[in-house]
């Protein structure tokens, strides 16, 4: 079977084609459906290896429609690049390296999410962009208000203009802020509409509804976890799921020296900070079903500090969500063990 390494890029991509007779063909083509069809459409069924990237899914689907076997590989798998030159890096050499990895089987497949879950991830990304824009506008407005010796108390974003007007600001300040006030009105409406669309997943996606039974987990966090993980059965353990989200400590050890550092921050940053926010809500909660988790986190906070305790709680919360999804069972506070009392050294 013909083996192809595809070094995919936004505008142009590099192909390295190894034919059955041993001949190597290298081509650089425009990254478009028409060019892929023109170059590879008439080729007999081939095995094609490309790295997971922003464009990889639509390219993979199109190449599969042409009758080829497509492998989307994890770019973090070091053995795949065993033949890569250290001092010289070019697209031609990268494509050749991918072709060799495909021929030798020296790759690790990346998970390809379903179309529905990719759509949810896109919705979450758009909502995040809207919220960040609103946050920036709000910060500018409050800083200009403070410049005039006024201070706005915390409130919902749609009440910001009303709160500032009640402070009796100068006409000049109102004139300066008016463009931002006008921008916030449609921005708030779009964020509210995005929240409604994501909240509707509770009724249409059983996994989202299941995870929302956990304390501190709302529709946004549950949807983000489900959209990123896609299929919980691809994780063998809770620890593997936590590592996938970048919530486990990094380690740099050699010989008899062992150094445990900060969390790796691998994986999706949006899910990670949403879980950290959920952990903050839990540690401040007064509900009875969060008592065991709060006690566990408080014990860590007393020894290591509150910030470390919150990240540890986010990691444990990820493990709980993994178990709920794996077993298809809603959250049960009785399954959370209270922390064991620590032994006190005698003096």
Within 8 A by CB and 6+ apart from 326, the residues are 232, 233
Tell me, what's the pLDDT at 346? 47
Residues 30-84: tens digit of each pLDDT: 999 999 999 999 999 999 999 999 999 999 999 999 999 999 999 988 888 876 6
* Phi/psi of residue 220, nearest 5 degrees: -65, -50
CA dist., res. 67 & res. 85, Å (int): 32
Residues 95-104: tens digit of each pLDDT: 999 999 999 9
Rounded alpha-carbon distances, angstroms, from residue 27 to 34, 48, 49, 50: 15, 14, 15, 15
Look up residue 109 and give its DSSP letter: B
Q: Select 2-104's CATH number: 3.40.50.300, 3.30.300.130, 3.40.50.10490, 3.30.420.140.
A: 3.30.420.140
Residues 330-343: tens digit of each pLDDT: 999 888 876 666 65
Q: What is the pTM of this model?
A: 0.88
């Amino acid at each position: 079977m013909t083996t192809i390494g595809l070094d995919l890029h936004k505008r142009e991509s590099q192909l390295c084609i190894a034919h059955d007779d041993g001949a190597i063909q290298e081509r650089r083509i425009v990254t478009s459906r028409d060019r892929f069809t023109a170059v590879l459409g008439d080729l007999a069924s081939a095995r094609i290896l490309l790295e997971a990237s922003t464009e990889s899914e639509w390219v993979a689907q199109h190449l599969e429609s042409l009758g080829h076997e497509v492998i989307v590989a994890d770019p973090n798998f070091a053995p795949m690049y065993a033949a890569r030159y250290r001092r010289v890096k070019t697209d031609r050499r990268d494509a050749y390296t991918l072709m060799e990895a495909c021929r030798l089987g020296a790759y690790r497949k990346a998970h390809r999410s379903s179309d529905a879950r990719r759509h949810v991830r896109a919705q979450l990304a758009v909502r995040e962009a809207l919220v960040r824009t609103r946050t920036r506008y709000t910060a500018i407005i409050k800083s200009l208000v403070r410049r005039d010796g006024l201070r706005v108390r915390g409130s919902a974003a749609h009440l910001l203009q009303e709160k500032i007007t009640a402070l009796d600001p100068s006409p000049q300040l109102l004139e300066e802020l008016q463009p931002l006030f006008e921008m916030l009105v449609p921005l708030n409406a779009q964020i509210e509409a995005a929240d409604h669309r994501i909240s509707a997943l509770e009724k249409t996606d059983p996994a989202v509804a299941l995870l929302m039974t956990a304390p501190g987990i709302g529709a946004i966090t549950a949807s983000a976890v489900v959209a990123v993980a896609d299929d919980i059965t691809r994780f063998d353990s809770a620890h593997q799921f936590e590592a996938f989200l970048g919530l486990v400590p990094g380690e740099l050890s050699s010989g008899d020296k062992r150094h445990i550092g900060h969390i790796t921050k691998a994986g999706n940053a949006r899910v990670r900070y949403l879980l950290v926010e959920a952990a903050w809500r839990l540690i401040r909660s007064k509900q009875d079903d969060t008592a065991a988790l709060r006690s566990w986190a408080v014990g860590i906070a007393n020894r290591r500090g509150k910030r470390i305790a919150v990240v540890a709680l986010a990691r444990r919360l990820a493990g709980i969500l993994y178990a709920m999804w794996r077993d298809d069972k809603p959250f049960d506070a009785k399954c959370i063990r209270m922390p064991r009392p620590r032994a006190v050294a005698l003096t």
